[in-house]
Structure 1
Amino acid sequence: MRYIVTIFSMIIFAVVLAVLFLYAQVRFDANKIIDYKPKITTQIYDRNGELMANLFEEEHRLYVPYDEIPARVIEALVATEDTSFFEHGGINIEAIFRAIIKDIQAMKLVEGASTITQQLIKNTVLTRQKTLSRKINEAVLAYTVEAELSKEEILERYFNHVYFGHGYYGIKTAALGYFKKPLDRLTLKEIAMLVGLPKAPSSYDPTRHMDLSLGRANQVLNRMHSIGWISEGEYTKAMMEHPVVYDETLTRNRAPYVVDEVIKTLLPEYEDIKRGGYQIYTSVDLKLQQLAQESLKVGYEGMISRAGKKTDTSELNGAIVVVENNSGNILALVGGLDYAKSSFNRATQSKRQPGSSFKPFLYQKALDWGYSPLSEIPDISRTYVNSETDETWTPRNYENNFEGLITLKEALVHSRNLATINLLSLLGLDSVYKEFVKDGFKNLSMDLSIALGTFGISPLEFSSFYSMFPNYGVKVEPLLVKKVVNRYGEERVYESKNTEITSPKQSFLMLDMLKEVVNRGTGRNAQVAGIEIAGKTGTTNNNVDAWFCGFSPDIEVLTWYGNDNNTPMQRSETGGRAAAPAFKHFMSKYLELHPETTRKFSMPEGVSARKIDGVMEYFTDVSPLPKSSNKELKEEGGLIF
């Protein structure tokens, strides 16, 4: 008797464990549906609200709340898949018996009787295998889910979770993907096509099997018509329709270099950026992004044509950055000629020497410390000896000549290396170095070579420093991401940071000098009719890097070319010849797109002007004209404005 009790107790214990295990499993699976938190695609937009890219992990899904699903979509699904959906409790008993009879007749499982709730369960937590154990689990789960969720909540989960073919998860994703339409703009035929897809997503994918997709859609329409849910006229019109279907990539990535930079910028703050369903609004203008890409190729093609067939140009590449002056908004960012061939972003990741394009920052210090654009500096050769290594350095001008004494303006306009190095020596290396570091420059070498831009910096970072010239002394940090909205509608807004480097009046003196660089100096190839342009060319030793950093009153455009392996380009490829044409092409087309853009720079308070030798010269109380200029002016009877 004792053994019987023991065995009976063990059986009861085993049954209890089995029931507890089954309940735990059912509860675990049910919670995945009840507490539904799917991976949702993040979307990136340009400044005009145009979609730039979709970011997702594994499943591309755009979520739609129930109240944004049109009634016609719900009617089509219920009519086709589960007419009594709003009456049953998760299981359709009548349909089950009907299916059992057919299964018995066929001597195998040939027909199911799944409700919409059961279909949701199959797609979410169970397999599609037709086994008795799976059907039992499915039934238990269906009752559990129906007990805790409303019919509307079940439909919302179904429409957002189910696969609609072509990599589209959820009906909103499919509507935008196949038809480029939001749900509320779909025609009845388009709705029928979408509702028919989940039964066999691959077979009914309209981008691959349009005939099968239309046939399945017609079945849906027939069902809606037969039960009186659409009129004869609606049915006839829908049957005749042949919708236009688009075969798009899932990512829809129209600016890959920008998208990569957005991810890199936000990833530390948003670890779930590819699954969190964020709406990211950027400062980029997709039209200008395309124009920047075209402009970069213009400069590149010019270099290729000059190189000839004997020169290896396989490593040649470039970058272009376009920034709005006053806001710092990045309007375009192109990190290479072809993203498909190289995803390396040269606009943000490469550290290239700016060469002579760095000179304006040194000349600005001279102006701020009392020099005038007409102050004279020696343009003569010197040999410098390193006291520690005894190594010598004998810099030279690009033209291999000397001018003797030359004004600051002429030295900058013609990019005279020797005059620039001598200016740094006159100002004091230690003092200038400390000022550059305070302004934010990094990785500077503590020697006179910094006058020639012998340090590494990315084009995007360099654009921030260059912004001080068109912004009258205020450095504006470039801004790529304007706003991030999470899946709950909560917003985070981002703003650019400003730093005052010098006063407007002192900055204007440099601006005028940079205008002259374009008007008659090394930047002549950047001239654009009908608008004032200022900027500076940059060419490093052995023509390894070629820059043009230019700006109009409204926007700044930096272009760079060089070999990815840091080998020299052709001797003829200078900043003025290689990079300036790309700037010119962009700015010329920009004027066509934005004829309202500001055409002339304004002169701030505190700047005075005099005509000397027929040329208008500017000065301030900090940077007065040299006495020799005042004497010449008096002799010529010049006027003071």
Structure 2
Amino acid sequence: MFKYLLGLVIVISLGIAGWLYNLYDEIKHDVDKVVNYSPKQSTQFFDNNGKLIANTFQGENRDYVKYDDIPARVIEGLVAIEDTQYFEHFGINPDAISRAIIKDIKARAFVEGASTLTQQLIKMLVLTREKKIIRKVKEALLAIRLETILTKEEILERYLNHVYFGHGYYGIKTAAKGYFNKDLYELSLKEIAILVGLPRAPSFYDPTKNLKISLARANQVITRLNTLGWINEEQYKISIKETPKIYDQTLTQNKAPYIIDYVTKLLINDIPDLKYGGYKIYLTIDLDAQEIGKKALIASYEEAVKRDEDFRKKEKSSNDEYINDLNGALVSIESNSGKILALVGGMDYKTSMFNRAVQSKRQPGSAIKPFLYQIGLNEGLNPASELADISRTYDYKVNGQKRRWQPKNYGGNFKGLLSLRESLMFSRNLSTINLVTDTGIDIVRDNLQKYGFKTIPNDLSITLGTMSVSPLEFSEYFSVFANNGTQVKPYIIEQITNNKGESIFFEPEYKEIDEPEQTYLITSILQDVINNGTARRAAVSGIELAGKTGTTNNNVDAWFAGYSPSIQTVVWFGKDDNKPMRKTETGGKIAAPAFAFFFKEYLALHPEIPRTFTKPSKVFVSTINGKTEYYTQKSPLPEIEIEIVPEDPNEEVMEF
């Protein structure tokens, strides 16, 4: 009988062994998913000072961390509460399995598990969570196999990066940033205890929802560490009493949504896994400058609203069509490199995601004039050259029908003769038209194309700035003045690093167009525009600034484009539907103050930036008509004065 039973046991044992072998042979390659672990990782965007701008992710918000960068205390806390014998066992813990089996038999149900950390990782990545014996057997077999392939450290690295910590956080580095706004090495013992206690029931122990329960769980971890002798009594008492500050923040933490949208659109075609590939994208953006830009637009907007309210009270009118839907945009770049420091696409991203800095095409109006005058200077004129600010009437035909165009100055007057400097200072339309006429439309048109403008009209409406540009495009074109004749292409991406640590870098793109001495002549005039001309509201004490206002017909668009010796900023205000603003809302009234606000605040943060423009050595100074004026070899001082009398000094004129 004994031999019969022994034989039966042997047969059953061999059968079980054979079954286990066949099962193992069938599933052994399932661990490849763990060995070749490649999880979805959040892509992070940083500003030029290394500050996090945003996370983007697809499904799982995860910031991967290498084992060597995980503090030892985190490992101790996890092992203490989840798998004390982790570094001793071979993937499964026979003692724990025995205890669990006895309890399960007594309860006639699965009441206690005995999974090691290795088994837990297998369950998360390979198997289902259903409580069946076959799944537990597979789990044990795969855990044993995994420990023959990976080291204990490699297994822990995968575990701590894959496990869910609640609140949308995957991986311990993400959870540390999310719950405590800290890096792993900054965590206190209590904070570590909260984190390592979460995987057992992440939603239940989520400290943003159930802080008392989460703290109680953390105290279990700390008590266990003390019982094992891994922390001393003093550390235990301090940690038990601590209540860390918990942050309940968005997963993306997006501080500049217009920027992240723009960068994503730039990259998504070339990097399809951009949102989940674990890239580190370093931008040229300065988050402080970005915040100043937003505040600058809001401040000018609120002043416009106040003006509109005052007007309606005065006129006893309820008509608010002029201020409804008013919006704006701002682009600020580093003049000598094109690095975008701030890019604000609208007043409120939550209200409208449309990025006006990039996507909106608007007419620049009189902001085009510096280009027209630069062309004139390059053709031999000088800031002291006299221009005729007189009325002219132009007859032309449209579809065979006779038309007449009689352009006007803003304010309805004209001055007869004035210098080129004065004409640009006060944005005189009539003298500008005469400048273009005398220079030649073809010459002006060809040169505007050289600066980058497109769809340029082949008639005198060229002087009105009727071609359409986005604020970002205009920033590129206008940089020819801010960067001493060399145009720079604004760019926003500095460096992209993939999850393997491989990086690509981006560099400035330059286009030499004008000589530095020639653009300095324009800079000197644009300084006068701010100091004594149409843009006095753009002035900021303690720094030299140059710039030009722009207002289109019927006050549809209001611009200010200007620069300091190192930074250029373009501001635009208008409505998305191209309806007019109130006539009081000109480039000088609404856009120039936003420009001044930006530079005043930026200067307070960066007092080290250059304050004065540097005159090129080939720019000379002399006196003409009792006034000091600059000249160059290409733009000599005028030798002859010609007196021109207006055609009709009493003629009534209107703004166009």
Q: What range is the shorter-chain TM-score in? A: over 0.9
Q: Deviations over 1:377-429 (max 9, x none)?
A: 33322224146543534332222333333322222111122222222222222
User: 2:335 aligned to 325, 335, 350, which one?
Assistant: 325
Range with greater deviation from structure 2 (304-313 or 200-209): 304-313
Offset, 1:137: 2.7
User: 1:359 aligned to 361, 366, 369, which one?
Assistant: 369
Range with greater deviation from structure 2 (371-380 or 551-560): 371-380
Q: Which amino acid aligns with 2:606?
A: H
Asked whether 1:399 is paired with 2:428, we answer no
Q: How many pairs align?
A: 614
> CA separation of 1:607/1:138 partners in 2, compared to 1, >3 Å: closer, same or farther?
same
User: 1:310 aligned to 316, 319, 337, which one?
Assistant: 319
> CA separation of 1:286/1:626 partners in 2, compared to 1, >3 Å: closer, same or farther?
same
User: 1:435 aligned to 447, 454, 457, which one?
Assistant: 447
Offset, 1:28: 5.8
Distance in 1, matches of 2:558 and 2:386, equals 28
Asked whether 1:510 is paired with 2:510, we answer no
1:475-554 aligned within 5 A: 475-554=487-566
Offset, 1:291: 0.9
Distance in 2, matches of 1:292 and 1:25, equals 62
Name segments (4+ residues, structure 1) moved above 4 Å. 18-25
User: 2:420 aligned to 408, 412, 416, which one?
Assistant: 408
Match of 1:634 in 2: none
Q: Deviations over 1:112-131 (max 9, x none)?
A: 11110111122223332212
1:165-244 aligned within 5 A: 165-244=166-245
Offset, 1:164: 0.7
Distance in 2, matches of 1:61 and 1:398, equals 58
Range with greater deviation from structure 2 (554-563 or 218-227): 218-227
Q: Deviations over 1:141-170 (max 9, x none)?
A: 222322221111111100000001111110
**Structure 2 counterpart SS, 1:535:** strand
Match of 1:123 in 2: 124
> CA separation of 1:391/1:533 partners in 2, compared to 1, >3 Å: closer, same or farther?
farther
Match of 1:93 in 2: 94
Q: Is the 8 Å Cα contact of residues 378 and 518 (structure 2) preserved in structure 1?
A: yes
Q: Is the 8 Å Cα contact of residues 24 and 138 (structure 2) preserved in structure 1?
A: no
Q: Is the 8 Å Cα contact of residues 329 and 471 (structure 2) preserved in structure 1?
A: yes
> CA separation of 1:25/1:522 partners in 2, compared to 1, >3 Å: closer, same or farther?
farther
**Structure 1 counterpart SS, 2:112:** coil
Asked whether 1:571 is paired with 2:572, we answer no
Q: Which amino acid aligns with 1:407?
A: S
User: 2:627 aligned to 615, 618, 621, which one?
Assistant: 615
Q: Is the 8 Å Cα contact of residues 320 and 334 (structure 1) preserved in structure 2?
A: yes
Distance in 1, matches of 2:182 and 2:26, equals 40
Asked whether 1:383 is paired with 2:394, we answer yes
Distance in 2, matches of 1:626 and 1:583, equals 34
**Structure 1 counterpart SS, 2:622:** strand
Q: Which amino acid aligns with 1:136?
A: V
TM-score, with length taken from structure 1: 0.92
Q: Which amino acid aligns with 1:311?
A: D
**Structure 1 counterpart SS, 2:568:** strand
Offset, 1:629: 6.0
Asked whether 1:604 is paired with 2:616, we answer yes
User: 1:444 aligned to 452, 456, 470, which one?
Assistant: 456
Distance in 2, matches of 1:438 and 1:340, equals 38
Q: Which amino acid aligns with 2:75?
A: I
Distance in 1, matches of 2:347 and 2:28, equals 54
Distance in 2, matches of 1:611 and 1:519, equals 20
Match of 1:34 in 2: 35
Offset, 1:34: 1.0
Distance in 1, matches of 2:293 and 2:449, equals 31
Match of 2:599 in 1: 587
Distance in 1, matches of 2:355 and 2:491, equals 17
> CA separation of 1:364/1:342 partners in 2, compared to 1, >3 Å: closer, same or farther?
same
Q: Deviations over 1:214-233 (max 9, x none)?
A: 11011111222222222222
Q: Deviations over 1:225-247 (max 9, x none)?
A: 22222222222222122222222
Q: Is the 8 Å Cα contact of residues 24 and 141 (structure 2) preserved in structure 1?
A: no
Q: Which amino acid aligns with 1:275?
A: Y
Q: Deviations over 1:524-573 (max 9, x none)?
A: 11111222211100001111000011111121111100011111111111
Offset, 1:341: 0.7
Distance in 1, matches of 2:512 and 2:26, equals 63
Q: Which amino acid aligns with 1:40?
A: Q
1:145-184 aligned within 5 A: 145-184=146-185
Q: Which amino acid aligns with 1:55?
A: T
Q: Deviations over 1:153-210 (max 9, x none)?
A: 1111000000011111101111121122221222211111111000010111111111
1:102-113 aligned within 5 A: 102-113=103-114
Q: Is the 8 Å Cα contact of residues 543 and 611 (structure 2) preserved in structure 1?
A: yes
Offset, 1:574: 0.7
Match of 2:14 in 1: none
Offset, 1:98: 1.3
Distance in 1, matches of 2:188 and 2:284, equals 34
Match of 1:14 in 2: none
**Structure 2 counterpart SS, 1:467:** helix
Q: Is the 8 Å Cα contact of residues 381 and 402 (structure 1) preserved in structure 2?
A: no
Gaps of 5+ in 1: 1-17, 632-641
Q: Which amino acid aligns with 1:457?
A: V
Match of 1:334 in 2: 344
Asked whether 1:252 is paired with 2:253, we answer yes
> CA separation of 1:581/1:233 partners in 2, compared to 1, >3 Å: closer, same or farther?
same
Offset, 1:374: 2.0
Distance in 2, matches of 1:302 and 1:183, equals 46
Range with greater deviation from structure 2 (564-573 or 18-27): 18-27
Offset, 1:494: 0.8
> CA separation of 1:579/1:28 partners in 2, compared to 1, >3 Å: closer, same or farther?
farther
Q: Which amino acid aligns with 1:208?
A: K
TM-score, with length taken from structure 2: 0.90
Q: Which amino acid aligns with 1:101?
A: I
**Structure 2 counterpart SS, 1:410:** helix
Q: Which amino acid aligns with 2:288?
A: K
**Structure 1 counterpart SS, 2:356:** coil
Q: Which amino acid aligns with 2:426?
A: H
Q: Is the 8 Å Cα contact of residues 46 and 283 (structure 2) preserved in structure 1?
A: yes
Gaps of 5+ in 2: 1-18, 310-317, 644-656
Distance in 1, matches of 2:578 and 2:242, equals 59
Coordinate RMSD, CA, aligned? 2.1
Q: Which amino acid aligns with 2:52?
A: L
Distance in 1, matches of 2:428 and 2:274, equals 49
Offset, 1:363: 0.8
Q: Is the 8 Å Cα contact of residues 289 and 331 (structure 1) preserved in structure 2?
A: yes
Q: Is the 8 Å Cα contact of residues 316 and 562 (structure 1) preserved in structure 2?
A: yes
Q: Which amino acid aligns with 1:508?
A: Y
Range with greater deviation from structure 2 (309-318 or 60-69): 309-318
Distance in 2, matches of 1:22 and 1:201, equals 33
